[in-house]
Chain A
Amino acid sequence: MRWLTNFLFSSIGQKVVMSLTGLFLISFLVAHLSGNLQLLIDDGGQQFNQYAKFMTSNPLIKFISFGLYAGILLHAMQGLYIWINNKAARGGKGYAKKVTRAVGTNATAASNMAWWGILILIFLIIHMGDFWFAMKFGGSLEMLTYEGYDEPVKDLFTKVEATFNNPIFVIFYVLAMLGLAAHLLHGFQSAFQSLGLNHPKYTPLIKGIGTFIAVVIPLLFAIIPIFMYFGIYPLSSFLH
């Protein structure tokens, strides 16, 4: 297996790992977003609470979520490691004056990937501490039994609602989503380039999709705390 470790430790192999974990995390973002939009349903949180119960008890989902934790850890640790290494490759001295131009990507988004990543990481720690930990281990959530269902479920909705009553949290969430937008704006198409997938016909399409998801995913995530803060619940349930 020497050939494989040689590859994984090479500069190109390290970037291949970043791109594969990054694309995997994007697929998670899409799933997580479609689940969380249920917070904006005007049913007092029933559908969201039942969904949260399903997500924390289904064995297949539990299995996949371990892959996800590993993916985030690997992506974040390797990203920070690469970043520190790259700074060292500069040789310690910067330029007194520096202009960074880019071709076909956004120079500011691209040259600050680690900073966006660190913002996302801080966000993830606070976000998981608030909701994920409360759902998994916290005894502070109230148990509710909905009509027509036997099993009681934890009332995560009320906890989310209370959190987003605090404008500081709302602003923090929106800022973190701006960081995510910048990370994805460069990251999505960059992942394909790292995998060697560059093509005169398809690369423009990939860049278009990248810009689209970099705007739409963070935007939809960001409107959840904003709408909940103002008490706007525009969706209706398809369950009951």
Chain B
Amino acid sequence: MRLTLKVWREGGKYVGQFVDYKVDNISTDMSFLEMLDVLNEQLIQEKETPIAFEHDCREGICGTCSMVINGQPHGPMKSTTTCQLHMRSFNDGDVIYIEPFRAKAFPVIRDLVVNRDSFDRIIQAGGYVSVNTGQAQDANAIPIEKDTSSQAFDAATCIGCGACVAACPNASAMLFTSAKVSHLATMPQGKVEARKRAQSMVKQMDAEGFGKCSNVTACEAECPKGISVTNIAKLNREYMGSVFGSDKVM
């Protein structure tokens, strides 16, 4: 395949602009990142600075491979990360736009790499359960119905990639935050701190400057893990419960 790439470059000699590149002999079996590797090899040989992009696992579980491909975070394929997207999803001669995730709370570090520390701070604010150290508990000490654990697991599959923010016209982090709140609030171990968690995580999310949720559902449509917006409704319930159903003044 022969492709024209319009890649956002920022940092170094680039102030923030699209640069056109041509790549040739791309196999349809390559992943999107492998295609970028080919381009970077080419740039290094031409003594150009390679394009900075993030990647780690390359198997769809770490959530670092953030970029917007032709207007869609992680590209055109449903429930698929960029690293798992293959070039067979494109056609010979295609022009492909590649841009970083755009949100005030995700500042661009360089080219396609953005800083997602804001997500870490939201998790630090309450995305955990407090467990006393000591002997490991017996695995079946707390009985949990299969449906309940599956529901919690579905929410827990969020890989924190930020595609939901990138897809949202409001740059809202509600899908990410709700996935964690709802995962933990569904489990008995997480229920203990559920109210405090809903308060502190929403507070941090707001402080980071993410937008408010207009229920556009673009997040669910682009989420590589198919996290459902029903989690957002659950977060709304949890949050209102923490305000109106609690005797704590928070």
Hey, which bits of chain A sit against chain B, CB under 8 A?
Answer: 2-4, 6-7, 10-16, 82, 85-105, 107, 110-111, 113, 186, 189-190, 193-198
Question: Interface size for chain B: under 10, 10 to 19, 20 to 34, or 35 or more residues?
Answer: 35 or more
What are 9 inter-chain pairs, A to B, with CB distance below 8 A?
A: A89-B170, A91-B171, A95-B102, A102-B216, A102-B217, A104-B229, A190-B214, A193-B233, A196-B240
Q: Which residues of B contact A93 (CB under 8 A)?
A: 102
Q: Which residues of A contact B239 (CB under 8 A)?
A: 10, 12
Tell me the interface secondary structure of chain A in the complex: helix
Q: Which residues of B contact A103 (CB under 8 A)?
A: 217, 220-221, 229
Total contacts A-B at CB 8 Å: 151
Q: How far is the CA of A103 from the CA of B220 in the complex (A)?
A: 7
A6, A11, A97: residue with the most chain B Cβ atoms closer than 10 Å: A11
Interface residue? B4 (CB, 8 A): no
Q: Is the CB of A102 within 8 A of B213?
A: no
Q: Is the CB of A95 within 8 A of B71?
A: yes
Q: How far is the CA of A10 from the CA of B172 in the complex (A)?
A: 13
Q: Is the CB of A82 within 8 A of B212?
A: yes
Q: How far is the CA of A92 from the CA of B219 in the complex (A)?
A: 20
Q: Which residues of B contact A111 (CB under 8 A)?
A: 169, 214, 216, 218
Q: Is the CB of A88 within 8 A of B217?
A: no
Q: How far is the CA of A91 from the CA of B105 in the complex (A)?
A: 8
Interface residue? B104 (CB, 8 A): yes
Q: Is the CB of A194 within 8 A of B170?
A: no
- Besides A95-B99, A102-B217, 18 other CB < 8 A contacts? A3-B249, A12-B236, A12-B239, A82-B212, A82-B214, A86-B171, A89-B171, A89-B211, A93-B102, A95-B97, A95-B102, A97-B70, A102-B218, A103-B221, A107-B218, A193-B233, A194-B236, A195-B240
